[in-house]
């Protein structure tokens, strides 16, 4: 059941409804306050607890928490050894960071198209991108579980395996999503059942909020070790890895207590204990938040159905048991005789926030100049039509009624 809220006649008089927002409750505040009384505000015991809890929820051997999803992507790229001379396939319909992170690690990006109905990269889109890549292969692929729906990882991983391409799932949108496997088993996104690494973001508009926060999940101990190095300046502290034995070890062969080594430069991507206190408190509510988001998506589906074919919800990937992060709709703006910007401004004046996810990354001036006039019709068609409506766990059914009514009125239906 979704909560109801008292309706007022004047929609604009109600508080502004953003497209995404955190839901912070008293126990979240208490958890953070408690963390502030601890000895360690940066890397303390809550980081470890957060990592273990997250890994348990998504069914991964380990999770490495970090300061945001962008850092998680960069750490993943570094852990896989991506660098100059390497190639990574990234779907064009994503947030910039999915491409920027492997690119800043040194790789060149080959953008893949997406399904114009779901916004997801299909196996065929991945194959077409590989055909455009140097030597017809890539070192890594970063499938994005757009809006929370899972890509068909079984199909994507089959191609990746044949080409020795490593897989980093960008699940910034998909904490809590499950994939229905061939054998009927439900596989959580993050378990890496079909890939090497999965990244998450805990930005306040995501399914759980940590202020800023991110994580990478992995099953391979070697990758976990490299992720932990990448999080902390690439500083090596394990004595068996030291290269300078004479400096590293003192009398009796013991490692000198102050000593550490750098074998490659890195950044500080650590996450504070304070954020993990919030993250842990929020993870305990994940099932409720996912349920609320699903119910809100169902309410939208029902209330927006009469607006078809002018406005249609995202097509569904049937094997994805989706934890919805976004509720994007596809609008035929030409047929509606309204510009998207105009509709967004009108809805804002009705007290309703909307957003466009995303300007396809290959069209950004930096990548367009670097990789030339690439055309990706699926991503471009999706971009031309999409508009994300408000969706967050603090919303009520009345909020959905209000958004649907405003859309109907503003589209002249
Ligand atoms: C698909 C995707 N990947 C990566 C990120 C980066 O996450 P963060 O904002 O935590 O750095 C985001 C965040 O918006 C995202 O939507």
Q: What is the DSSP string of 176-202?
A: T-EEE-TTSPEEETTS-SSSSEEEEE-
Which of the two residues, 7 and 197, has the higher pLDDT score?
Answer: 197
Is the pLDDT score of 10 beyond 90?
no
Q: Read off the tokens for 71.
A: 């850092």
CA 232–ligand 1 middle distance (angstroms): 20
Is the pLDDT score of 11 beyond 60?
no
Is the pLDDT score of 336 beyond 50?
yes
pLDDT category of residue 2 using cuts at 50, 70 and 90? confident
Mutation to probe ligand 1, out of 22, 91, 201, 358 (largest number of atoms < 8 A from CB): 201
pLDDT category of residue 8 using cuts at 50, 70 and 90? very low
Atom of ligand 1 nearest to the CA of 357: 16
Mutation to probe ligand 1, out of 95, 102, 119, 208 (largest number of atoms < 8 A from CB): 95
Residue minimizing CA distance to atom 5 of ligand 1: 69
pLDDT, mean of residues 163-192: 96
Residue 5: what pLDDT? 59
CA 407–ligand 1 middle distance (angstroms): 28
Is the pLDDT score of 182 beyond 80?
yes
Give dist(CA 312, CA 73) in Å, integer: 32
Which of the two residues, 209 and 1, has the higher pLDDT score?
Answer: 209
CA 5–ligand 1 middle distance (angstroms): 31
Atom of ligand 1 nearest to the CA of 94: 1
List all residues 6 or more positions away from 169 whose beta carbon is below 8 Å from its beta carbon.
142, 143, 145, 151, 153, 189, 190, 192, 195, 197, 198, 199
Residue minimizing CA distance to atom 8 of ligand 1: 69
pTM to 2 decimals? 0.96
Residues flanking ligand 1, CB < 6 Å: 68-70, 94-95, 97-98, 144, 170, 172-173, 201, 203, 214
Atom of ligand 1 nearest to the CA of 146: 1
Give the residue among 156, 204, 193 at the shortest CA–CA distance from 317. Answer: 156
pLDDT, mean of residues 275-287: 98
Name the residues annotated as catalytic. 206
Element spanning 222, H or E: helix 221-231
**Digit-coded pLDDT (tens) for 128-170:** 999 999 999 999 999 999 999 999 999 999 999 999 999 999 9
Is the pLDDT score of 13 beyond 80?
no
pLDDT category of residue 12 using cuts at 50, 70 and 90? very low
Give the residue among 179, 171, 103, 173 at the shortest CA–CA distance from 140. Answer: 103
Atom of ligand 1 nearest to the CA of 214: 10
Residue 14: what pLDDT? 56
Residue minimizing CA distance to atom 16 of ligand 1: 95
Is the pLDDT score of 100 beyond 80?
yes
pLDDT category of residue 373 using cuts at 50, 70 and 90? confident
Mutation to probe ligand 1, out of 19, 69, 77 (largest number of atoms < 8 A from CB): 69
**Digit-coded pLDDT (tens) for 210-254:** 999 999 999 999 999 999 999 999 999 999 999 999 999 998 999
pLDDT category of residue 295 using cuts at 50, 70 and 90? very high
Question: For the chain, what percent of residues have pLDDT higher than 90?
Answer: 94
CA 325–ligand 1 middle distance (angstroms): 12
Which of the two residues, 111 and 184, has the higher pLDDT score?
Answer: 111
CA 184–ligand 1 middle distance (angstroms): 30
CA 71–ligand 1 middle distance (angstroms): 9
Q: Read off the tokens for 276.
A: 């993990």
CA 276–ligand 1 middle distance (angstroms): 18
Q: Read off the tokens for 238.
A: 């394990």
Residue 209 · residue 278 · CB < 8 Å: yes
Is the pLDDT score of 9 beyond 60?
no
Give dist(CA 211, CA 130) in Å, integer: 37
**Digit-coded pLDDT (tens) for 220-230:** 999 999 999 99
**Digit-coded pLDDT (tens) for 43-83:** 999 999 999 999 999 999 999 999 999 999 999 999 999 99
CA angle 317, 383, 194 (to 5 degrees): 35
Residue minimizing CA distance to atom 7 of ligand 1: 69
Atom of ligand 1 nearest to the CA of 144: 1
């Amino acid at each position: 059941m979704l909560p109801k809220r008292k309706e007022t006649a004047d929609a604009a008089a109600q508080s502004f409804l953003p497209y995404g927002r955190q839901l912070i409750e008293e126990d979240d505040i208490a958890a953070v306050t408690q963390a502030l009384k601890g000895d360690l505000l940066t890397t303390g015991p809550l980081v470890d607890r957060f990592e273990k809890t997250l890994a348990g929820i998504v069914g991964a051997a380990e999770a490495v928490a970090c300061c945001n999803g962008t850092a998680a992507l960069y750490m993943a790229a570094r852990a896989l050894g991506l660098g100059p001379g390497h190639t990574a396939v990234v779907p064009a319909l994503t947030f910039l960071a999915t491409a920027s992170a492997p690119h800043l690690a040194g790789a060149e990006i080959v953008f893949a198209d997406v399904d114009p109905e779901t916004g997801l990269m299909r196996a065929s889109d991945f194959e077409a991108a590989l055909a455009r890549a140097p030597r017809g292969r890539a070192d890594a692929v970063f499938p994005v579980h757009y809006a929370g729906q899972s890509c068909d990882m079984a199909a994507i991983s089959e191609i990746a395996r044949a080409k020795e391409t490593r897989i980093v799932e960008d699940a910034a949108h998909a904490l809590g999503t499950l994939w229905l496997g061939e054998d009927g088993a439900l596989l959580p996104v993050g378990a890496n059942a079909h890939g090497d690494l999965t990244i998450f973001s805990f930005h306040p508009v995501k399914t759980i909020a940590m202020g800023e926060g991110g994580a990478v999940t992995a099953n391979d101990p070697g990758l976990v070790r490299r992720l932990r190095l990448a999080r902390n300046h690439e500083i090596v502290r394990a004595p068996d890895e030291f290269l300078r034995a004479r400096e590293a070890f003192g009398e009796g062969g013991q490692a000198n207590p102050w000593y550490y080594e750098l074998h490659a430069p890195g950044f500080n991507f650590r996450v504070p204990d304070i954020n993990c206190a919030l993250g842990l408190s929020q993870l305990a509510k994940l099932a409720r938040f996912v349920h609320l988001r699903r119910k809100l998506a169902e309410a939208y589906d029902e209330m927006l159905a009469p607006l078809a074919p002018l406005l249609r919800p995202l097509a569904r990937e049937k094997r994805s048991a989706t934890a919805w992060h976004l509720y994007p709709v596809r609008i035929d703006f030409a047929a509606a005789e309204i510009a998207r910007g105009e509709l967004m401004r009108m809805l804002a004046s009705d007290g309703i926030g909307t957003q466009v996810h995303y300007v396809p990354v290959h069209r950004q001036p930096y990548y367009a100049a670097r990789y030339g006039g690439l055309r990706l019709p699926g991503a471009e068609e999706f971009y031309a039509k999409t508009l994300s409506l408000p969706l967050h766990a603090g919303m009520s059914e009345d909020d959905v009624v209000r958004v649907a009514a405003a859309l109907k009125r503003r589209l002249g239906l």
